[in-house]
């Protein structure tokens, strides 16, 4: 296994994925323990160099996830995040120390706005940086340090604290554009100047961490590489706080496609990009916009007559990448109601899903039901079916039956049966339309005070028989959860997505209760 500190190729760019840490901070994007393990495994198989698995001191659940990922991961360096204090750093080390290649990532906000939060003088903060980086290095040979909001930090002070961190033992210096403020020329020049002017800079790797508030995260990250950065911090689908982070798939494919002007390489197997993009979208509840670069539904679609004519004559006329380069299979009718289990298993494997035994039997049953309702079953339909299957595995609340009556004659009426912890419960409700009536029927059976923040419907494929994918986002007492489901019946998909979000909410409630009991026990002790 090659670790980051053993890479000698000057044009090799390390990919540092923070989907499980920074990406998960998107409101509603919280993943379960098993989902984090699955995503980490996919990142490792794809060739990500460093996986930032979480923020170990944030909660017991985060600590356990980081620790388990550290134990299981075969290739990637496993990194945990820690604030600039000994308690955070010690907790981080306890979580990552079992990895084959562990890393501690510690940070502190260095801009005037961020220095004001802990009310530290420049000298006091400099001392803290020295002490905490030294402490981290005494625990771990691989230490990354970040001056949060670096792009709004005074140059003299930024250079000073970077030098301090290097002398204290940091092996990677990450320069975060925490609020997406900088522009490409500034991003490149900042890295270039730090490497040229800070003593010891030649002995460390410089990294870039860009947010997308002004839509320039990918451009800023690539510019930083031009300036000398050799590590890009990014997330799958650009998931992250506010407008998101640098999208892994965008920087990786930009370096691959435009190798003529950016002669840099990564270790990413790009044929796995589409599969992990879909999986992260499913577990986070954040749909990928259709026109999203590289992994969006329309990224390789052509409707214009001129474009279609050009594509038929030579695909390179309007495509600078091949769909198969990112793991995309052509969307075509290959499955139907006469297809057998072997064909379904083979097709799902082609799409990135390995199903056998009872799971295959369950999926095959649902596939047959779908094929009976749809004239054409496309790849996207099968992906939506699989994602729905995975979401319903351990749910405490499940939709058993739904009947809705609606029209111009009056309010819509819904009759609903759910099973809650194995017990069947039924209700009837009215509402302003079929979805409102169905949601009111759910509320009558499941007690909650969550507020619906988002209700979004998108078609999986074309046609009046297309499956609808519904996403809902809900908030209760500061807890934000998302749910998704797909069905040819939009109202059914809506209720299942709503119930999926409620299941996640119940999990969050239970976790909060366990944490509170743990805190109470510790206080009593």
Give binding residues for Mn(2+) as ranges: 22, 209, 211, 245
* C-alpha span between 54 and 37 (Å, rounded): 11
Q: Tokens 């084959």: give the residue.
A: 100
Q: How crowded is residue 477: how many other Cβ atoms within 10 Å of its Cβ?
A: 10
Tokens of 79: 């990194």
Pick out the residues of the known binding site: 22, 209, 211, 245
* C-alpha span between 258 and 264 (Å, rounded): 9
Neighbour-count burial of 370, counting CB atoms closer than 10 A to its CB (0-12 exposed, 13-18 middle, 19+ buried): buried
Contact 51, 105 (CB under 8 A): no
Residue 285 CB partners (closer than 8 Å, separation 6+): 28, 29, 471, 473, 481, 482, 483, 484, 501
Helix axes 86-96, 60-72, angle to 10 degrees: 40
Q: Tokens 């930009």: give the residue.
A: 254
Contact 319, 311 (CB under 8 A): yes
Strand order in the sheet with 479-487: 451-459, 468-476, 479-487
* C-alpha span between 336 and 329 (Å, rounded): 17
């Amino acid at each position: 296994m090659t670790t980051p500190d053993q890479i000698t190729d000057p044009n090799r760019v390390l990919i540092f994925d923070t989907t499980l840490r920074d990406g998960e901070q998107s409101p509603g994007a919280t993943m379960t323990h098993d989902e984090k393990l699955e995503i980490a495994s996919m990142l490792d198989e794809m060739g990500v160099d460093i996986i930032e698995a979480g923020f170990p001191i944030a909660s017991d659940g985060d600590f356990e996830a980081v620790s388990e990922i550290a134990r299981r991961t075969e290739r990637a360096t496993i990194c945990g995040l820690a604030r600039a204090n000994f308690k955070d750093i010690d907790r981080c080390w306890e979580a990552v120390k079992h990895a084959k290649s562990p890393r501690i990532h510690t940070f502190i906000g260095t801009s005037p706005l961020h220095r004001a939060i802990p009310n530290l003088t420049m000298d006091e903060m400099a001392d803290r940086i020295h002490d905490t980086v030294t402490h981290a290095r005494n625990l771990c040979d691989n230490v990354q340090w970040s001056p949060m909001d670096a792009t709004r930090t005074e140059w003299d002070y930024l250079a000073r604290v970077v030098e301090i961190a290097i002398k204290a033992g940091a092996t990677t210096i990450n320069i975060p554009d925490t609020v997406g403020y900088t522009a490409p020329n500034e991003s490149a020049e900042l890295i270039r100047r730090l490497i040229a002017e800070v003593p010891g800079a030649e002995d460390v790797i410089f990294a870039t961490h860009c947010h997308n508030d002004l839509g320039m995260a990918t451009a800023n990250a690539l510019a930083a590489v031009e300036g000398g950065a050799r590590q890009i911090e990014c997330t799958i689908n650009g998931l992250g706080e506010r407008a998101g982070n640098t999208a892994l798939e965008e920087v990786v494919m930009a370096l691959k496609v435009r190798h003529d002007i950016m002669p840099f390489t990564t270790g990413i197997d790009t044929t796995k990009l589409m599969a992990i993009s879909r999986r992260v979208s499913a577990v986070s509840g954040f749909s990928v916009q259709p026109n999203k670069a590289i992994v969006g539904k329309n990224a390789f679609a052509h409707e214009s007559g001129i474009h279609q004519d050009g594509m038929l004559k030579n695909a390179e006329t309007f495509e600078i990448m091949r769909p198969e380069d990112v793991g995309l299979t052509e969307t075509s009718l290959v499955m139907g109601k006469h297809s057998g289990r072997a064909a379904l298993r083979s097709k799902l494997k082609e799409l990135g899903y390995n199903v056998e035994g009872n799971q295959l039997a369950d999926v095959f049953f649902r596939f047959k039901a779908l094929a009976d309702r749809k004239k054409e079953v496309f790849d996207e339909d099968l992906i939506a079916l699989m994602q729905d299957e995975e979401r319903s595995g351990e749910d405490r609340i499940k939709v058993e039956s739904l009947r809705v009556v609606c029209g111009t004659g009056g309010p819509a009426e819904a009759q609903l049966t759910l099973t809650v912890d194995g017990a069947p419960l039924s209700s009837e409700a009215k509402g302003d339309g079929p979805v409102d009536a169905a949601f009111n029927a759910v509320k009558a059976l499941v007690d909650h005070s969550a507020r619906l923040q988002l209700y979004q419907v998108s078609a999986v494929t074309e046609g009046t028989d297309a499956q609808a994918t519904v996403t809902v986002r809900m908030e209760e007492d500061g807890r934000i959860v998302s749910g998704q489901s797909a069905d040819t019946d939009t109202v059914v998909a809506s209720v299942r997505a709503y119930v999926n979000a409620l299941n996640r909410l119940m999990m969050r409630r239970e976790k909060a209760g366990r944490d509170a009991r743990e805190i109470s026990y510790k206080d009593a002790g």
